[in-house]
Structure 1
Amino acid sequence: MHLPRQALGARIRNWLLAGMIVTAPLLITAYVVWQVVDFFDGWMNSILPARWNPETYLPFSLPGVGLLMAMAILVLIGWSTAGLIGRTVVRWSELVLARTPVIRSIYATLKQLFETLFAQQAKAFRDVVMVEFPTAGQWSVGFMTGEAPDAVGDQVEGPHVSVFVPLTPNPTSGFIIFVPRSRIRVLDITVDEAFKMILSFGIVGGNRSGLPQPSAPVEQPQGIRAPEQV
């Protein structure tokens, strides 16, 4: 029995879409991984002496050698900083950087950022929230990163929190906004689910349990005070 032409065309279209859904994530993932491996391979080949490069003695290339060597170097640096000599070198290096204009600000900011992101007790990006942004009545998904700095708390009334609102589909850029704690809505979803929602333009991620829930009232944290009445 022959299928109608329209039904056959619809099936071919569905098969094409199914093939794209299956292969596109695999191809994109493979491309990103290959770019990372190629970057580290090229970087290590540019700084590594030829006599130490395994590819010098092999008739073929070994993708990933640069990445493995970079990881080994990082492990070695981490191990050395645990000792007395390593801690002394790091301490003196930080003293030099702390006395260098411009560079000290960049280094201090980056160090604090990485310590916050990789510390075991870090609370950054722990809570997924919704805030009214960019205007009232329009809600955006963001990540609460902590209490507002003292400089901000001195200029506003009541406790405020820092919220990072990422852009779609590039969550590495976005906005830092300071929102009254009473105006945020905590979502019952994980950070991974929130990133899926952002990267997919809201198509993937989240569920019915992710509806905004009213935030519980909290005591006013230290370092944030209302402005004096004039």
Structure 2
Amino acid sequence: MSPKLRFKVLVSRILRYFFQGLLILAPIGITAFTLYWGFITIDNLLPRDLIPTNHPMNFLRYQGVGFAIVLILIIFVGYVSSSFIVGRLIDMFDHILERTPFIKYIYSSVKDVFDAFVGEKKKFDHPVLVNVYGEDVWEMGFITQKDVKSLGLEGFLAVYVPHAYAITGKVFIVRQEKVRPLTNISAGEAMKFAVSGGVTHITEMPAQPVEPGR
């Protein structure tokens, strides 16, 4: 083998090993960076600069204490909100914010987004296939409104279709017969499949009976 050909083979192997290593390390690195960014952002919510070095509460200046305090605070609020009296007070405060001019638009929008993902009224838990662009073309989405009569449309429903490799999506108002419920995969599996552009492997579950109206 000539030196020139040997050099090309060597470069080809190095590039192959580089991309192979990148495929392994990139997901790990991005995940680690995201967790680190989230940790630092939450931890810095504690105003350390306002605490003198000789103050009895000086331990609050240590890295990680702010994150722990915020975490404990969130758990505490979730715990006390489960009581009847505190729950009613929170509902009253929630009602006031949703009626306050300007603030209601910000508060309601943020609240609806969080409720859609982690609230008791989660919206993205009804995975479906929706026929939008053509007879044999199906999009994977989630039913967000089973009834859109308020829009003057009878027999239609709202389906949210997430975009691949993005946090955005589109809402389609389609006829009920254009929607096919997915009963053998979880909502999480459907979301991963849609967001990953269809490259994520789907783990099937036992088919669940479709509830009336779904």
TM-score of the pair, normalised by structure 2:
0.72
In structure 1, the partner of 2:148 is 149
In structure 2, the partner of 1:31 is 33
Q: Does 1:54 align with 2:59?
A: yes
Whole-Å separation in 2 of the counterparts to 1:97 and 1:15: 56
- Secondary structure in structure 1 of the residue aligned to 2:21: helix
Does the Cα contact within 8 Å between 1:123 and 1:145 map onto a contact in 2? no
- Secondary structure in structure 2 of the residue aligned to 1:165: strand
Does the Cα contact within 8 Å between 2:148 and 2:154 map onto a contact in 1? no
Q: Between 18-27 and 36-45, report the one with greater CA deviation.
A: 36-45
Q: Between 28-37 and 180-189, report the one with greater CA deviation.
A: 180-189
Does the Cα contact within 8 Å between 1:128 and 1:194 map onto a contact in 2? yes
Does the Cα contact within 8 Å between 1:169 and 1:199 map onto a contact in 2? yes
TM-score of the pair, normalised by structure 1:
0.68
Paired-residue identity, %: 25
- Deviation of the 1:112 alpha carbon: 5.0
- Deviation of the 1:27 alpha carbon: 0.4
Q: Does 1:201 align with 2:201?
A: no
Please, which runs of 5 or more residues in structure 2 have no aligned partner? none
Give the partner amino acid of 1:102: F
Give the partner amino acid of 1:24: A
Whole-Å separation in 1 of the counterparts to 2:100 and 2:29: 45
Does the Cα contact within 8 Å between 2:44 and 2:66 map onto a contact in 1? yes
Q: Between 189-198 and 70-79, report the one with greater CA deviation.
A: 189-198
In structure 2, the partner of 1:180 is 175
- Deviation of the 1:24 alpha carbon: 0.5
Deviations 1:134-160 (CA, angstroms, capped at 9, x unpaired): x324432211224133303xx2242x2
CA change 1:84–1:71 in 2 (3 A) is same
- Deviation of the 1:25 alpha carbon: 0.5
Deviations 1:34-87 (CA, angstroms, capped at 9, x unpaired): 11011112222369755445254xxxx52x332221111112223333456634
In structure 1, the partner of 2:134 is 136
CA change 1:46–1:184 in 2 (3 A) is farther
Number of residue equivalences: 201
Give the partner amino acid of 1:81: S
Whole-Å separation in 2 of the counterparts to 1:192 and 1:91: 29
- Deviation of the 1:93 alpha carbon: 2.5
Give the partner amino acid of 1:196: K
Q: Does 1:41 align with 2:46?
A: no
Whole-Å separation in 2 of the counterparts to 1:140 and 1:7: 44
Query: In the TM superposition, what are the counterparts of 1:74-153 in structure 2 within 5 Å?
Result: 74-83=74-83, 86-87=86-87, 89-111=89-111, 113-115=113-115, 117-120=117-120, 122=121, 124-133=123-132, 135-137=133-135, 138-152=137-151
CA change 1:84–1:192 in 2 (3 A) is closer
In structure 1, the partner of 2:188 is 192
- Secondary structure in structure 2 of the residue aligned to 1:131: strand
Does the Cα contact within 8 Å between 1:194 and 1:205 map onto a contact in 2? no
Does the Cα contact within 8 Å between 2:189 and 2:202 map onto a contact in 1? yes
Whole-Å separation in 1 of the counterparts to 2:77 and 2:187: 30
CA change 1:66–1:198 in 2 (3 A) is farther
CA change 1:47–1:156 in 2 (3 A) is farther
